[in-house]
A = this chain, B = another copy of it.
Amino acid sequence: MLGPIAWRTPPISYGPWERVTSLLTEGLVRRGLDVTLFATGDSITGAELDAVAPHGYAEDPTMDGRVWEALHVAHALERAGEYDLVHNQLDWLPLAFTAQWRTPMVTTVHGFSGPAILPAYLASASAFVSISDADRSPSLEYLATIHHGIDPAELPYVAEPDDYLVSFGRIHPDKGTAAAIEIARRAGRRLVICGLVQDADYFHAEVEPHIDGEGVVFLGAVGAEERARVLGHAVALLHPIDFDEPFGLAVVESMMCGTPALAFRRGSMAAVIDEGVTGSTVASIDEAISALPAVVALNRRRVHDRAVARFGVERMVDQYLSVYETVLAR
């Protein structure tokens, strides 16, 4: 399992690629597979851990991420002959060196960033797994789409929420934090915002002026326990994204707690949210405000049950095992 090294695996707060890598790795270990996780040295796993980077480069400004990622990939490459299969979770760099791997490879494409990285994908002999049908590049062939799975035990069901809405994700125009503030304000609801500030200019201009600790509360990047508590006690998640989100982990995590999601109909949202069951997708702020009362009124137990059925980690592990078998049978 060739994981990313921007953050620890599992990440302490932000780090969606590392989170999914961790959930799958631990799931495979539970099934009895012999797995080595290539990740940061401070990662925590039931698999064998191998590392060259002591900790995540995103946590340490003295580390050049490109240099450490290359050393990390090169180190895994040295050991590749020991394995039946390599699962690449860190995008194009391992693909560029495909001829050197010789071991069969599966690559999870965690959000296809655009045509400029296609040459590495096309040069590669890896099998590709998309994380949603919406995120597929028309220029690539995929073996499967496998939605991320999450661990229900980490996101306990909350039957009786508080009264606030929640916005959860990187603070960046893509994630629509400012639109969430407008929806909450016009709907007369409190809003709790959680997320790593990725675009400081946007935060200072569009988000910070609205933070008052009452109507709009900002908690920053939160850890696993606080994430479960904040998502679980919201009446709904607002996700008015301004980009084609490839998956939307926060949406699924929210649903796992029983909290329905109200999202803009971009990227994978219509595939992830079951309309009228786990939430609703809309096209504008006005539509969001109209749809909100019905979303808040959804049956939280049904939201949770559907999330377990569709996005439980064991379903993800099953699907990846099936992909591994297909690749190894080739």
Q: Which residues of A are at the interface with B, using a C-beta cutoff of 8 A?
A: 62-64, 66-68, 70-71, 73-75, 77-78, 92-93, 96-100, 115-117, 119-120, 123
Residues from chain B with a CB closer than 8 A to the CB of A66 are 66
A67 touches B120 (CB 8 A): yes
Instruction: Write 29 A-B pairs (CB below 8 A) sorted by A numbering.
Output: A62-B115, A63-B116, A64-B116, A64-B117, A64-B119, A67-B92, A67-B96, A67-B116, A67-B117, A67-B120, A68-B119, A70-B92, A70-B97, A70-B120, A71-B96, A71-B120, A71-B123, A73-B96, A74-B96, A74-B99, A74-B100, A74-B123, A75-B99, A77-B97, A77-B99, A77-B100, A78-B100, A97-B97, A97-B100
Name A74's contact: one of B64, B97, B116 (CB within 8 Å).
B97
Docked pose: A238 CA to B317 CA in angstroms: 65
Docked pose: A92 CA to B96 CA in angstroms: 16
Docked pose: A244 CA to B131 CA in angstroms: 47
Identify whether the interface residues of A are mostly helix, strand, loop, or mixed: helix
Residues from chain B with a CB closer than 8 A to the CB of A96 are 67, 70-71, 73-74
Given A67-B96, A78-B99; 13 other pairs, CB 8 A cutoff: A62-B116, A63-B116, A64-B116, A67-B116, A67-B119, A70-B92, A70-B96, A70-B120, A74-B96, A74-B100, A77-B100, A78-B100, A97-B97
Docked pose: A90 CA to B173 CA in angstroms: 36
Residues from chain B with a CB closer than 8 A to the CB of A100 are 74, 77-78, 97, 100
Residues from chain B with a CB closer than 8 A to the CB of A71 are 96, 119-120, 123
Rank and list the top 10 A-B pairs by shortest CB-CB distance, nearest first.
A70-B96, A64-B116, A74-B97, A67-B120, A71-B96, A78-B99, A74-B96, A67-B117, A67-B119, A100-B100
Docked pose: A68 CA to B123 CA in angstroms: 11
Residues from chain B with a CB closer than 8 A to the CB of A77 are 97, 99-100
Residues from chain B with a CB closer than 8 A to the CB of A78 are 99-100
CB contact under 8 A between A98 and B74, given known A66-B66, A67-B92, A92-B67: yes
- Distance in angstroms from A236 CB to nearest chain B CB is 39
Residues from chain B with a CB closer than 8 A to the CB of A115 are 62
Docked pose: A226 CA to B93 CA in angstroms: 40
Docked pose: A117 CA to B65 CA in angstroms: 10
Docked pose: A67 CA to B115 CA in angstroms: 11
